[in-house]
Chains A and B, each alone.
Chain A
Amino acid sequence: MKRIILAVFPALALTALCLWYYDNSTAPAGSFFVDEAGLLMAFGRLAGIVGALGVMGQLLLVSRAGWLEPLFGLDRLTRLHHAAGILIPLALLVHPPLVVWSHALQDGNRFMAQYLAVLKWDDIPPAAAGELLIITAVLLSLPFARRRLGYETWHTVHLASYLGLAMVIGHQLHYGGDLNAEQAWFAWTWYALLAFTAANLLWYRLLRQLLLYRRHGFRVDRTFMESPDVMSIYVKGTGLDGFMAEPGQFALLRFWAPGLKLEAHPFSFSRAPDGEELRFSVKRSGDFTARLHAGLKPGTPVIIDGPYGVFTAARLSSGKALLVAGGIGITPLRAILERLSASGTDAVLVFSNRSRKDMVFAGELAELEKKGGLRTVHVLSEDRDWAGEKGRVDAAMLRRLVPDLAERDAFLCGPPPMMAALDAGLRSLGIAGERIHYERFSF
């Protein structure tokens, strides 16, 4: 069923492109593909259609749709969203000049004079403003700008792109000649695309989490400091045995309290859900998490959007596992270890921290070790008195610590540079890419 729904958007998009070709090749005055003005008009329209389809596709990629996310994982979909984002402004930028150029050629006008004339047409001003909003949102999300912007600014600008999209819909349906010119039913393809996108966004980004909250009434039960910088948040609610999440998955949490409720952030379940309570562990690493550490109180309502992610024990393809955690990257691995321990899987955890005070879940990991099947190796990079492994985790260290490395699936979670280095290092040791599992967040 998921794969059938997966085909809906591409099928509708392809139909729209076919209608574009049909409409432009069967115009009353002959095909648009035979002269300069016609070609400019046809490809100007195509750029508009591709840009609009791109925006809808982008929204679907980050809609967290239940028919899409489990197949690829939210981190991969988000990375695709980042990569595809740059193509949309290109299409949207060339759409207006191509169409204006065509009109200028047909009417014997100067380009700029025609541009100014077109700007006065019915719904062109809101469409131009909407396009500007979308392009601005994309440009400010590019790495060079994103690095300089705070999350809040980026988030607000991104929300503005929804307004931009709303502003160009009228233009699409009004001037979208290829979709509404002579055959009224052509427009239904576009209505279907818009409706499909809007329905997915509305349900998966808004209604589903509200429904979950209504059903379970999630609230913060208590907090516990695992280390000076890491706080575990215990969440309780009604009927939690009906809230299913795989160890290793994460959810987007919105704490309904002053100073917190405007932002939803992704946090991994740091323990497998047991039907009684949920646990998330959060490191103080930015503005939001600092506010969370300082001000989160028991009883605070929590809107949970999830679970998401495909970084779970189900990915294990061999009988044995190697888990490498860097700092707070332990959270999903801690939950996965619970599942591996329950199934008696042979697992080695290499847990890297700066110093002993940064080590979290040490007691819980020791408990899991006692049950058998798990061996934990703590590695500290900045603790001179540490009697155990010291330094940074790399492929050579892993080969030394885990001689049967090649027989294991590797689960990696930690800072992106560490994961990139380990991914390359493990591949160089002969572990196939499909047996190296990780999840990278970058919203």
Chain B
Amino acid sequence: MKLSKLILSAVAAALLSAAAGEPGAKAAAKPEATTLENLQTAYGGESNAKARYEAFAAKAEAEGYLGVASLFRAAALSESVHAARHAKAIETMGAVPKADVKAPDVKSTKENLEAALKGENYERLKMYPAFLKKAMADKVQLAVYSFKGALASEKMHARFYAMALKNLNNWKARHRFIVCQNCGYTTDDLKLKVCPVCSKPRAQFTEVW
């Protein structure tokens, strides 16, 4: 087992050791933070994002943007998956996951979308690439896969928020999303058969409507 892991590590490093770095990685806020600290930060962020998106969904529902409400509900579910994965990684490292969940600041649906997009952009361009790089350097595998899943999901969330902001009136009808219960990957491609991030089957996706 050890030899095979060594070989796999060597092959991985030889193939593309630099590929994990995203453009925003250099701008990481806390280069000195440990992977455990990064996991706690991410856990807190995801827990807050879940609460915030649930509140945003209720607001969108009330304003008649039912498609946006579907999107926020799907994103909230996705963030809860990320929080759970981060928590598992924290516990595996012998610590207890901690999150300070604040009351969400709910405004109009348009403003909520802008705030959500800003948050996702920070996470996908700066926070997660830096966390991922650090976790890979520290060889904390569970953190690596947890951050990878979150990074891929936040990209999708940001894409959908940007689409909604571009033409909000098109998002008054309900929209169907599916969310991977293993890694949180979110998409509206209902024909998807396998999660492109974690390779779990479609049966492990939850449909959000």
Asked if B8 and A40 make an inter-chain contact with CB atoms under 8 angstroms apart, the answer reads: yes
* Contact indicator B141/A37 (Cβ below 8 Å): yes
Report the separation of the CA atoms of residues A181 and B5 in the bound assembly, to the nearest whole angstrom.
28
- Say yes or no: A105-B145 contact (C-beta < 8 A), given A34-B16, A36-B12, A39-B8: yes
The answer to whether A108 touches B155, judged by C-beta atoms less than 8 angstroms apart, is: no
Picked from B145, B155, B156, B203, the residue with its CB within 8 Å of the CB of A106 is B145
A31 and B16 contact, CB distance less than 8 A:
yes
Contacts of B151 in A (CB 8 A): 29
Interface centre among A35, A121, A175 (most CB of B within 10 A): A35
B201 near A175 with CB under 8 A, answer: yes
Instruction: Write out the residue numbers on chain B whose beta carbons fall within 8 Å of the beta carbon of A41.
Output: 199
Cβ of A421 within 8 Å of any chain B Cβ, yes or no, is: no
B89 touches A108 (CB 8 A): yes
A34 touches B8 (CB 8 A): no
**A81 CB–B CB distance under 8 Å:** no
- Would you call B144 an interface residue if the criterion is a C-beta within 8 Å of the partner chain's C-beta atoms? yes
Considering only CB atoms, which chain B residue lies closest to A26 in the complex?
B196
Interface of B is mostly: helix
The B-contacting residues of A in range 226-254, CB under 8 angstroms, are: none
**Number of residues on chain A facing chain B (CB within 8 A):** 30
Residue of A nearest to B16 (CB): A34
Residues of chain A within 8 A of B8, CB atoms compared: 36, 39-40
Interface residues of B in 11-35 (CB under 8 A from A): 11-12, 15-17, 19-20
Asked whether B12 lies within 8 Å of A122 as measured between CB atoms, the reply is no
Q: CB within 8 A of B199: which of A103, A174, A182, A184?
A: A103
Contact A36 B141 (CB under 8 A): yes
CB pair B136–A35 under 8 Å, yes or no, is yes
Say whether, besides A28-B152, A28-B155, A181-B194, A34 and B17 are in contact (CB < 8 Å): yes
A159 within 8 A of B: no
Verify B199–A35 contact, CB threshold 8 A.
no
Interface of chain A: mostly helix, strand, loop or mixed: helix
Task: Collect the chain B residues with CB atoms within 8 Å of residue A182's CB.
Answer: 189, 196
The CA-CA distance from A31 to B142 in the complex, in Å, is: 17
| Known contacts A102-B199, A107-B182, A175-B193; A29 and B88 CB within 8 A of each other | no
- Interface positions of B from 108 to 159, Cβ below 8 Å from A: 136, 141-142, 144-145, 148-149, 151-152, 155-156
Q: What residues of chain B lie closer than 8 Å to A30, measured between beta carbons?
A: 19-20, 148
A137 part of interface (Cβ distance < 8 Å)? no
**Residues in chain B near residue A36, CB distance under 8 A:** 5, 8-9, 12, 141
**Chain A residues near B170 (CB, 8 Å)?**
none
A180 at the interface (CB under 8 A from B): yes
Contact B9 A29 (CB under 8 A): no
The residue in chain B whose Cβ has the minimal distance to the Cβ of A32 is B199
In the complex, the chain A residue whose C-beta lies closest to that of B128 is A29
| B142 surroundings in chain A (CB, below 8 A) | 108
> What 0/1 pattern do residues 89 to 132 of A give for CB contact below 8 A with B?
00000000001001101111000000000000110000000000
Minimal beta-carbon separation of B196 from chain A (angstroms): 5
Contacts of B149 in A (CB 8 A): 29
Tell me whether B148 and A29 are in contact (CB under 8 A).
Answer: yes
Chain B: residues with CB nearer than 8 A to chain A? 5, 8-9, 11-12, 15-17, 19-20, 88-89, 92, 136, 141-142, 144-145, 148-149, 151-152, 155-156, 182-183, 185, 189, 191-194, 196-203
Nearest 7 pairs between A and B by C-beta? A29-B152, A29-B148, A28-B152, A177-B194, A106-B145, A33-B15, A36-B8
User: 29 A-B contacts, Cβ less than 8 Å apart?
Assistant: A27-B197, A28-B155, A28-B196, A29-B149, A29-B183, A30-B20, A31-B16, A31-B19, A33-B12, A34-B15, A34-B20, A35-B12, A35-B144, A36-B5, A36-B8, A36-B141, A37-B141, A37-B145, A39-B11, A39-B12, A103-B198, A106-B145, A106-B198, A108-B88, A108-B89, A108-B92, A121-B201, A181-B196, A182-B189
Q: Give the B-binding residues of A (Cβ under 8 A).
A: 27-31, 33-41, 99, 102-103, 105-108, 121-122, 174-175, 177, 180-182, 184
Known: A122-B203, A180-B193. 15 other contacts (CB 8 A): A28-B156, A28-B196, A29-B149, A29-B152, A33-B15, A34-B12, A34-B15, A34-B20, A35-B136, A35-B141, A103-B198, A105-B141, A107-B145, A174-B194, A175-B201
